[in-house]
Amino acid sequence: MIRQLKQLLRHGLQVQSPRSWDWAQQAMDWGVQLQGLLFAFGPLAGLLLLAALASPLLIGGWLFNFQAPDFGKLNPMQGLGNMLSMRSLMELLKALAKTVLVGCTAWMVISTQLEDMLALSAQAPEAGSAQHARLLLRCLTLMVGALAVIALIDAPYQMWSHAKKLMMTRQEIRDEAKESEGNPEIKAKIRAQQREMARKRMMAQVPTADVVVTNPTHYAVALKYPENATHAPLVVAKGLNEVADKIRAIAQEHGIVVMEAPPLARALYQHAEIDQEIPAPLYTAVAQVLAYVFQLRAYQTHGGIEPVQPEQVSVPASLDPQQARADQGAGA
């Protein structure tokens, strides 16, 4: 760059009287001078452009925005608010730090090289140009080093600040959850409606049951075992408290046998699911109940000896929640 600038200066000082009055020639000379300036500063400008394009890659990469500009940012009141923000204060402090650091660096270079700079006027042009280039390079190197120190401090701060801006507040998290998953209140209403629909479907199956086993007040489980079935009895409905009362009422309305067997009712409610077969350990207890129901149905249809309802239906103690809690309490 220094070599190119010397040639441009030498060429510019070579004034020829006839050429100085020729405006077309002057324009050509100016074009040559401009071209020489571009060649002189081209490498430096290219390095600056490369640094400007590559530096964002160190803190996350390029960001392309194709959205329309926000003209609300031209609001002077909003701009005044931005000037008084913490971010603006930090940028001001960084700018002052850069100015002070670069100024101190330049002052140190000039003060230490002052005699050499004053001696440039007494040197030959070739030697003076070379010395001037060395002084300029030294000054620029030290100032770039000072700015590099600021960059090493500023880059981590910018990354931390950017990550902090990306963090959402609690309200933003709730709003995003509403947008992505739906409003919790609406979802709760939907779930309530789904439970109500499932309860209605379950209640509609109660009239098809063969027997309803009760606690007698807290639990109610409706069982179905069709004739010639190749599978275990099915649980068509079950409920607790108010739902149990509703199951008993529907069963009595449709003439379904309601049988009190508290241990079995608790075990079925705890371990059996709706529309699924009863657990294998409860086969014997349920068989006792169904045998009584079928005998009672035959008696009501054909007459004969009235069957006796089983007084005690045996259920494994591990399947009866009440008995299991009692055993745990005794063991403790």
Per residue in 181-205, pLDDT (tens digit) is 666 777 778 888 888 888 888 888 8
pLDDT at 97: 82
Q: Are strands 211-214 and 257-260 parallel, antiparallel or unpaired?
A: parallel
User: Which residues on adjacent β-strands are paired with residue 220?
Assistant: 214, 239
Q: Which amino acid is at 179?
A: E
pLDDT at 60: 65
pLDDT at 220: 92
pLDDT at 89: 80
Q: State CA 185 to chain mean position distance.
A: 22
pLDDT at 221: 92
pLDDT at 78: 62
pTM, two decimal places: 0.45
pLDDT at 212: 92
Q: With contact defined as beta carbons under 8 Å apart, do 1 and 9 qualify?
A: no
- Backbone CA torsion sign across 51, 55, 58, 63: negative
Spans of the chain, pLDDT less than 70: 15-21, 59-61, 69-84, 168-173, 176-183, 327-332
pLDDT at 329: 62
Q: Which amino acid is at 324?
A: A
